[in-house]
Amino acid sequence: MKASEIIALLPYQRPFLFVDDIDSVTENKIIGHYTFKSDEFFYQGHFKDNPVTPGVILTECMAQIGLVCLGVYLVKDELTKSQKPQIALTSHQMDFYLPVLPSQKVIVHSEKEVFRFNKLKCKVKMLNEKEQLVARGTISGMLKI
């Protein structure tokens, strides 16, 4: 399955799609990236005159790439051509280390810990372009086909 096919199956669209591309994907891990545009809707009110990407948006980006894209890849053989999987976040634990500013690119790495009974749990980390750790944690979700 190509990266573009995985992204097309996501249940998101702009302005709430935080996946530009998938760099690699296997049964056990995925790497993808997103560049936060300077005109993203949330920068208008998040820290007046000093915009910073909210942690909840960084978590969403990690969930979209590290959980949802990987989940779509894992269930690809069960999908019909018109079928899109539904995915719900069930839990997350995240630690943040560096801010992400407008126009910055982030790279998300995710490793599958458990995939059983359509529940996926992953260890995720987000790096900036300098390969500095921005955030890391675990994310879990349920997939419905």
Q: Which residues carry out catalysis?
A: 46
Helix (H) or strand (E) holding 80: none
Question: E strands, 10-104, where?
Answer: 21-25, 29-35, 86-96
Task: Examine residue 51 and say whether the peptide bond preceding it is cis (omega within 30 degrees of 0).
Answer: no
Residues of 79-99 as b/e, b for ≥16 C-beta within 10 angstroms? eeeeeebebeeeebebeeeee
